[in-house]
Structure 1
Amino acid sequence: MKPRVAFFDFASCEGCQLQIANLEEEILDLIEIVDVVSFREVMKEHSDDYDIAIVEGSIIRPMDEQRLKKIRRKAKILIA
């Protein structure tokens, strides 16, 4: 079973996520080894069931901190 990956954005310009979406052919290599289950920039449907969470942006509001803690509880691995 491939690891499930979710991308999350907080306060940022979202340029990093856009660059990942623009990888074109390289993204095909990525989806061979992981299942992307949540990526707001490129997907309409999202899942709260993930193994790896990739977080972009700054945590600037108390609600951001709570959201990040929830993401961390669900993820086996958090990349920020």
Structure 2
Amino acid sequence: MIKLLRFSAASEATGRPRTSFYRAIKAGLLPPPIKIGEASAWPDNEIDLVNKALIAGKSETDIKKLVSDLVAARSYAA
């Protein structure tokens, strides 16, 4: 089951403070949030996969591709 993480949990999971977290989203290194009404959240599996790619030493190019693929897959998840 996929859990949705609010900002504080997603930030903690990545080890990035607010500014760095949002810069990484802008750079394509983290997936953008999904909107749930007025709130924003991140699927925990997406954050987990990005963390695993970082731990594995993947390049920024590889991580950007992963993030792009994850965001594209959102429309097929339902």
TM over 0.5: no
- Point out the structure with max Rg over C-alpha: 1
> Could you say which structure has the higher helix fraction?
2
Q: Which structure has the higher relative contact order (CA within 8 Å, separation 6+)?
A: 1
TM-score, structure 1 normalization? 0.26
Which protein is richer in strand relative to its size?
A: 1
